[in-house]
Amino acid sequence: MRITKLSLHSSSLPALAAALLIAGLAPTQASAADEITAEDLALEKDPATGEKVEAIVVTGSRIAIDAATESTSPITVVGADDIALSGQPDLATQLRQIPALQGSLTGIDSVNQAPAGDEASDLGLNRLNLRQLGAVRTLVLEDGRRHVPGASGSAAVDIGAIPQGCIKSVEVLTGGASSVYGADAVSGVVNFTLRSGRDFDGLEFNVQGGISDEGDAENYSVSLAGGGEFADGRGSAVFSVDYSKQKSLKASERSFAGTGLYGLSFANDAIFDLLGLTDADFGLPAGQRPSQAFYPNVTLRVSSRFGIIAIDNGFASAFDAVLAINPDGSVPVLPGTTIPVAQVFDETNLRAFNAGTFVDAFSASGGDGIGANVNELIIPELEQLVFSAGADFEITPGITAFFEGKYAFTDGIDATGTPFNDDIPIRLDNPFIPTALRNQITTLQGLGQSPVISVSRDIQDIDVLPTENTERTAIRFVTGLRGEFEKLGWKW
């Protein structure tokens, strides 16, 4: 993957920060009681050495403690520099490098998650999944406060809505979190700490792009973030805009997808012959063979892109005709004729259906059976825009008002699946019946029979491929007060 990055910084823009402060407030959607601020990371003295150390605070808890000395559970921290240097197209891909988060869903992997039109589709979502216990059991916080879900019907958060240009660090707590946060934190908590206006000195501009070694599946992202202080440091304001684009990739564009797929199934002599294996290759006692084997070019032998044609007296079923094919691949003929029970018209000739190397009643290797759809997407097309803004102002010493607002939009396109049609009846006077098939009809009628034709066909034409186009919008507003009782050492 080739990566190109560009970062620019400008001078301080206090006027811009002041303008963001006067943004309208919205109804509260989160409690300020769970908030942890940058002031919580103040330098304290190590009682053993007397040296100043940075206090690590367990975010989201109503009781601030030093996690380095008092927390019984380990906390993994990923800094903004680590995220920036990773060169990954999305945040979830970077966080999956943490072993406990390897089961997380990334945007580029969110294909084939649900049928088209299903509201439960995960297309375009980036969901964290700690320890493979489910995304709904992984609590995601932003600055110690709960975040709105990423899709209807689920409490799981889409971390694609987190403004990457403002991320200061990501803390992952994998144990004992449910005692503080409840059942939705059974597997742990992931907290995104964002930068405030005090962490900026003007604007930051970041451009990143990537392309595969094959010269396709391009992705790029652009982010702009800025902020600053005003009113002699009593207030600060921050904003960020993040835009990203991921191009799609078809199965036909990779050798390991489409018709190159391998399958695992119960093995038979035909499969071993196809693979060129003999008893000497197995390393087993004489007469014993492996019970399963991987076989190439997986196909569904009960259907075909050409369309399986069945003709018979009184009743015809293409599905039943294929099941009547012998394991050695030979196709039975109708009694008293040379007409195969299952045929295909390959745009040139009407011939017997080639069922491929037999695996089981529905599976084969090669032949006329339908394979993986070469037009389906193995990487979806994704486009995302995230805008966020926030401000805080010290009303009095110990009391600070704050506001946060966010708008996130995701547009995803996925093409997958194969529509199928089984046993479609064909009228004998259909003008599109090829001459060879019409001659078979005449032959059966000459034998005093009443021929019936049916056709089965799975459709892989790109124009009718089921396509899912999902658009998601997330809006989040938070406002409240925070402060501390300095004499008591309490924060609220």
* C-alpha 419 chain-centroid distance: 23
pLDDT for position 384: 94
pLDDT at 51 > cutoff 70: no
pLDDT for position 408: 95
pLDDT for position 50: 60
> DSSP 3-state assignment of 486?
coil
Amino acid letter, residue 457: R
Alpha helices in 210-361 (DSSP H): 269-275, 318-323
C-alpha–C-alpha distance, residues 18 and 236, integer Å = 8
Give the pLDDT band (50/70/90) at residue 353. Answer: very high
Check the CA dihedral 14-17-23-27 and report its sign: negative
C-alpha–C-alpha distance, residues 88 and 108, integer Å = 11
| Among the listed residues 146, 64, 139, the one whose alpha carbon sits nearest the alpha carbon of residue 478 | 146
Domain with CATH 2.170.130.10 in the chain: 2-249+380-415+469-491
Least confident of 110-119, 220-229, 276-285, 476-485: 110-119
CATH topology of domain 2-249+380-415+469-491: Ferric Hydroxamate Uptake Protein; Chain A, domain 1 (2.170.130)
The share of the chain scoring above pLDDT 90, in percent, equals 33
Using the CB atoms, write b or e for 388-423: b if 16+ within 10 Å: bbbbbbbeeeeebbbbbbbbbbbbbbbbbbbeeeee
| 81 to 6, 114, 141, 159, 167: CA distances (angstroms) | 14, 35, 20, 18, 10
Which secondary structure element, helix H or strand E, spans residue 83, and what is its range?
Answer: helix 80-86
Structure tokens at 96: 């999956």
**For the chain, what is the mean pLDDT?**
80
Give the pLDDT band (50/70/90) at residue 299. Answer: confident
Give the pLDDT band (50/70/90) at residue 199. Answer: very high
pLDDT at 246 > cutoff 60: yes
In this prediction, residues 199-208 reach a mean pLDDT of 90
Q: What is the pTM of this model?
A: 0.69
For the stretch 317-338, pLDDT in tens is 988 998 899 888 899 999 999 9
| 278 to 54, 154, 274: CA distances (angstroms) | 66, 52, 11
Report yes or no: 212 and 239 within 8 Å, Cβ to Cβ: no
pLDDT at 377 > cutoff 70: yes
pLDDT at 60 > cutoff 80: no
